[in-house]
Each structure stands twice: as structure tokens, then as C-alpha cells.
Amino acid sequence: MGMNRSMVCAVLLAFLAFPPAGIAGEKGHGSMPGMKSGEMGQGSMAGMKMEEHGKMGDKVFGGKVGPWQGEVRLMDMKAHMEKAKASGMKMEGMVMKSHHVALHLSDPGTKKPVAVSEGKGTVKVTGPDKKEETTNFMVMEGHFGADVNLPKPGKYTFKTEVESGGKKGSASFSYTVK
């Protein structure tokens, strides 16, 4: 379990260090407490704008997740790691799943992000071959995150369930790998 957590942290740091192109104009975590609009702290994310951190990957769902408004982004880890390698980052020996799922929650009334600092949840992925895989979400930088395998082209169905702050929510959506 400790090895998996270390790998997840390493992968998270890797894709936080290299923002994808084409995300201008979308709001991110600029309203997080302690952060000035458009800034992030030091370390591997230095120089990265909050909008870039919060909007990595393709938006695959937007809608109701229990009492919250939710947005799910899906990042192709192979493509992301190729960008990281091209910029000089060493990725040798890293074994990872094909995609990262990031579930962001916001208050439907105020539209402000929910400060996810604790909680739990799962994402169940059913592939085109009808095989199912359930993965636990981890709390990561204000959102729920999980690494999943989408190994071949076709339609995948996602069922998410989360619990945070004494509230529960769920959502289902589909994504097609080309």
C-alpha cells in the first residue's frame, strides 16, 4: 500500500509540474483560502497558475453529485508522461495506470469549490468488454483522484460515489476511448 501511495504522489507531482496547452479562460482553484488569484506555492508547481492546475485533462462530466455540483476530468497519463519526458523529466521504472480521474466538487449556490480535505469514495469503471474495476478515490490537492485503466478503444462507464463533510453523493457518466 505504501509503494502505491508513493507512486501516486510521484505521478501527481509529475503532472502538476507540466500544464497542458489550451486551458486559458477557464477558472481553477483561484479562490482557495491562502492563495492569491492566479498563483500557486513553491516547489514542483512554482510558476503554474491555479487555472492550469485545476483544469488538467479532458472534462468528461459536469453535473449534480449529491448535494454538490461536480466536474470530472480525465487525464491520459501516457500522453502526459510523454510531454514530461520531452521536457527532461526522468520517468524510468514508473508503472502506472492509463488514466487519472479527478473529481472536483463545488457549492451549487455559491459556485465556490468545496475544500475537500477529507473524505472517501470509489469509482467503478465498466469497460467495453463489460469487465468492472473499482478503485478507491484519494483526497488530492482539494479534489478526489484515482488512477484507472482504460486499456483499449471503446465506451467506458464510470460510477462514482463520494462522502465528505458528512454528505454523500454519486454520479454516473460515460467516456469513449478512441
Q: How far apart are CA 66 and CA 161, in angstroms?
A: 9
Band the pLDDT of 141: cuts 50, 70, 90.
Answer: confident
Which tens digit of pLDDT belongs to each residue from 163-174?
998 999 999 999
Between residues 135 and 15, the one the model is more confident about: 135
Q: How far apart are CA 20 and CA 18, in angstroms?
A: 7
Q: Which amino acid belongs to residue 120?
A: K
Between residues 128 and 30, the one the model is more confident about: 128
Per-residue 3-state assignment (H helix, E strand, C coil) for 14-49? HHHHCCCCCCCCCCCCCCCCCCCCCCCCCCCCCCCC
Mean pLDDT of the region 44-61: 57
Between residues 118 and 69, the one the model is more confident about: 69
What is the reported pLDDT for 93?
A: 56
Map out the domains of the chain as residue ranges. Answer: 2-21+51-177
Q: How far apart are CA 121 and CA 160, in angstroms?
A: 7
Mean pLDDT of the region 24-47: 34
| Per-residue pLDDT at 16 exceeds 50 | no
Which tens digit of pLDDT belongs to each residue from 56-78?
789 999 999 999 999 999 998 88
CATH superfamily ID and name for 2-21+51-177: Domain of unknown function DUF4426 (2.60.40.3340)
